[in-house]
Amino acid sequence: MSRGASLGRASSTPAEACIDAPGRSPGKILVVDDEPLVRKKMTHHLHKLGYHVLEAADGAEALEVAQRERPDLMILDWIMPKLDGPTLCERLKGDPAHRTMQLILMTAHDKPEQIAEGLARGADDFLSKAASLQETTARVQAGLRAHALVKELESARDTLNRSYQLLAHHQEELETDLRSAAEFVQSLLPPSGNWAPGVTLSWQYLPSKALGGDLFNVAVWGERDLGFCILDASGQGASAALRAATLMSLLRTSSVVRHVCSYDPGAIVTEMNRRFPLSPEGDYFTLWVGALNLPSRVLRFSTAGHAGAVLFRSGGTMVPLARATFPLGFQPETQYTSQTLTLETGDRLFLFSDGLYETRSPTAELWGRERLESVLAGSGNTPLAEALSRTVRAARDWHQQEHFLDDAALLGLEMIDQSPPVA
């Protein structure tokens, strides 16, 4: 076995023979052949073409040089001592560090079965030992083009991977923020239970993954009224949630007293309509406000485009508590009025957001108000909290996914035996 010298300058081993071609951007090619004459002839030819050429005299040495120099292309003989060409191909293709290197196997014969074996073991191309210089040149150029393309693809893949990791990181941050925001929104919700003698309250709140703008509240207004409201900010995301929290802060007892000077639902909705005009993007609120006078059980309510309000009488009759009204901001001069009705023991009032009944099945069919009202009607004999759970479960069963696309809120108030009556 010869350990050939470099062409152009002296080197300690043939493998380190390096031919520089100033002014060009050569590919780096490793020529592996145990026959010095064949190797030198190939090296000389490639050098004349301007490539950066390295040599190795057998497969084992080629592995060492490849590890150190990372050539772009290797031309290797089939039969060599220590490590033959196909085995060297296998080793190199099995190493991710050499995945882009193009391997051209030199053969004395071009038998189909030999070519098939070479390809199966990792060779990218073949070159007959009898090939002309033109053919050799063309195959080397094709191999280097393939190498450049594979490198480009790998680089694009790496860029994509980095972008994906960055996106995944941002997504995780965003989801953490949204979870925190959802927890904050939930902290604004009232506690369940008996709010006043004769009134019990329960609710279900399911924030969407993207966070929405549903909120509701219950508060004691003055000495005799229980106030409650539900609002829905159009749109989704943190913007809707922030807008909803802003409006809800104005519906707190102290704000109502300061800004409206009245607990009349119509006056409250009218004032909120004045304060929250339609945004330049068309964002707005629907709002439903009720005030229950505890001694008389007279409910006054007013609505601004909020469809989700129904009363189930103890006998099962359903009374819609919504009517055609502008949502907040649609018409700044609108004067909203209050309606009244008297509640009786066993009556149940439900307030809900459209995210609950606008949920869709996997085939995109809407659940719809009719189904929602049907479940509520069918739950009249079950405890209030269970009736709400059952309703949400029915919506989830319809949707068949963990998160709804929009926030879903459901608030229930039930008139229970009054003892003792509020003075």
Partner 1 sequence: MQIVHTSHEDVTTIQMLGDFTFNSRRDLSAAIEKARTTNCRTILLNVEHVSFMDSAALGVLALYSNLLKCEGRRLVLLRPQERVREILTIANIPAIIPICLSEDDLPPISKQAPRPERV
| List of residues contacting partner 1 (CB under 8 A) | 232, 234-236, 278-284, 286, 305, 307, 322-327, 329-331, 354, 358, 366, 406
Shortest reach from residue 366's CB to partner 1, in Å: 7
Beta bridge partners of 352: 410
As a whole number of angstroms, the distance between CA 333 and CA 274 comes to 7
Nearer to partner 1, 49 or 409 (CB): 409
CB of 283 to partner 1, least distance (A): 6
Nearer to partner 1, 198 or 235 (CB): 235
Neighbours of 358 (CB within 10 A): 17
Instruction: Output the smallest distance, CB 178 to partner 1, in A.
Output: 16
- Nearest CB to partner 1, comparing residues 196 and 405: 405
**Alpha carbon 36 to chain centroid, angstroms:** 60
Q: Which pair of tokens denotes residue 228?
A: 């409650």
| Matching residue, tokens 């099995």 | 94
Q: Which is nearer to partner 1, 202 or 236 (CB)?
A: 236
> In angstroms, rounded to a whole number, what is the distance separating the alpha carbons of residues 206 and 97?
50
Burial class (CB in 10 A: 0-12, 13-18, 19+), 21: middle
CB neighbour class for 153 (10 Å; exposed up to 12, middle 13-18, buried from 19): exposed
Hunting for tokens 């080197």 — which residue is that? Answer: 11
In DSSP terms, 229 is beta-bridged to 217, 289
Taking residue 129's Cβ as centre, other Cβ atoms within 10 Å add up to 15
Smallest distance, partner 1 to C-beta of residue 143, A:
49
User: Residue 197 Cβ, how far from partner 1 at the closest point, in Å?
Assistant: 34
In 23-176 the beta strands, taken as DSSP E runs, fall at 28-32, 52-56, 73-77, 102-107, 125-128
Of 30 and 321, nearer to partner 1 (C-beta) is: 321
Cβ proximity to partner 1, 133 vs 174, nearer residue: 174
Residue number with CB closer to partner 1 (142 or 405): 405
Neighbours of 161 (CB within 10 A): 10
- The smaller minimum CB distance to partner 1, of residues 33 and 406, is found at 406
Q: How far is the CB of 330 from partner 1 (least distance, A)?
A: 5
How far, in Å, CA of 316 to CA of 376, rounded?
10
Cα(30)–Cα(76) distance, rounded to whole angstroms?
Answer: 8
Sign (positive or negative) of CA dihedral 320, 321, 323, 329: negative
Work out how close the CB of 284 gets to partner 1 at its nearest, in angstroms, rounded to a whole number: 5
Minimal distance, residue 374 CB to partner 1, in Å: 17
Given a contact cutoff of 8 angstroms between Cβ atoms, the answer to whether 214 and 407 are in contact is yes
- In whole angstroms, how close is the CB of 334 to partner 1 at the nearest point? 9
The three-class DSSP label of residue 36 is helix
The nearer residue to partner 1, 200 or 325, going by C-beta atoms, is 325
Nearest distance, CB of residue 212 and partner 1, angstroms: 10
Exposure string (b/e) for 307-333, b if CB count within 10 Å is 16 or more?
Answer: bbbbbbeeeeeeeebbeebbbbbeeee
Of residues 275 and 326, the one with the C-beta less far from partner 1? 326
